[in-house]
Structures are given as structure tokens and as C-alpha cells.
């Protein structure tokens, strides 16, 4: 029997049997089942790291807001309020207020909670901090 387009080859003609193809499909399913949990775990870890980076950026922003408030307002509570508007539950440390033209420093500390399911327990909760310095304007 000669092979012609449109007709399947005979099994001895070099093509795989249907049974061999079914086994390969099963093998791919098993490989996918082994790899999928690792891919999900890696994706969740990336999400957790992104959340910690977001918190770090918020800490830096809160420090800048607080030092700006401290540079224009002699009340140290103004700096604390400015930082907590940006980042609630932050600890704010305002340095002593110098004369106009000198520098004041504010430090903001924040405890970032790692809470993404499955991977949150793998990462310890980091303590983030940032300091900002600015000249006193008033």
C-alpha cells in the first residue's frame, strides 16, 4: 500500500501509534502537576517581596513628609501627624529643633508584616526604617 496525502500512514510506516501519543500526553500532565506548585510558590514569593518593597517606599515617603512638616512647623507633633497620614502605625522620631537654616532629621520606623498565604511564613517580618534631613525654614 502506497501512502498518499489525506490517508494516515500505517503504524509500521514511521508514525507513532495512538497509544504512544496518549502516554506522552499523560507524561506531560504529570510533569505539569510536579512543576505547578513550584511556579505558584515562586509567584507568591514575588508578590510578597513586592509588598515589602512597597512598604519600604512608603516608609521613605513618610520620612520625607515628616521632615518637611518639621522644617516648617516648630511643633514636633506636626511631623508625627504628617508621617502617620502617609503610613499609619509608623514610629516617628523627630530630632531636636535647631535654629532656622540648620538641619533637622526625622526617622521613621515601621514593622512590615509578611502575610501572603503559603510564603508569608517563610519570610521573617522585616523592620523597615528611613531617615530624612532638611533645613529648618521657619
Number of structural domains the chain divides into: 1
CA 54 – CA 63 distance, rounded (Å): 14
Q: State the distance between the two ends of the chain, measured CA to CA, in whole angstroms.
A: 100
Among the listed residues 138, 131, 137, the one whose alpha carbon sits nearest the alpha carbon of residue 61? 131
* 89 occurs within a structural domain: yes
Grid cell digits, residue 66: 515628616
* 122 occurs within a structural domain: yes
* 71 occurs within a structural domain: yes
pLDDT at position 103, please? 95
CB 90 within 8 A of CB 62: yes
Mean pLDDT value of segment 35-53? 94
Q: What is the pLDDT of residues 93-115, one digit of tens each?
A: 999 999 999 999 999 999 999 98
Is pLDDT of 46 > 60? Answer: yes
CA 27 – CA 20 distance, rounded (Å): 11
Domain that holds residue 75: 16-135
Q: What is the pLDDT of residues 30-41, one digit of tens each?
A: 888 999 999 999
Please, what is the average pLDDT of the chain?
Answer: 88
Confidence bin at 2 (pLDDT 50/70/90): low
The model's pTM is: 0.76
Amino acid at each position: 500500500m502506497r501512502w498518499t496525502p489525506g490517508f494516515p500512514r500505517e503504524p509500521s510506516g514511521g508514525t507513532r501509534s495512538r497509544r504512544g501519543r496518549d502516554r506522552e500526553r499523560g507524561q506531560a500532565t504529570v510533569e505539569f502537576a510536579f512543576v505547578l506548585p513550584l511556579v505558584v510558590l515562586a509567584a507568591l514569593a514575588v508578590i510578597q517581596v513586592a509588598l515589602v518593597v512597597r512598604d519600604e517606599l512608603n516608609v521613605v515617603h513618610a520620612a520625607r513628609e515628616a521632615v518637611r512638616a518639621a522644617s516648617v512647623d516648630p511643633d514636633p507633633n506636626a511631623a508625627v501627624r504628617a508621617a502617620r497620614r502617609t503610613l499609619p502605625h509608623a514610629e516617628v522620631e523627630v530630632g531636636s529643633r535647631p535654629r532656622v537654616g540648620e538641619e533637622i532629621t526625622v526617622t521613621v520606623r515601621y514593622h512590615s508584616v509578611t502575610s501572603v498565604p503559603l510564603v508569608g511564613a517563610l519570610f521573617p517580618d522585616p523592620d523597615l526604617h528611613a531617615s530624612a534631613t532638611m533645613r529648618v525654614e521657619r
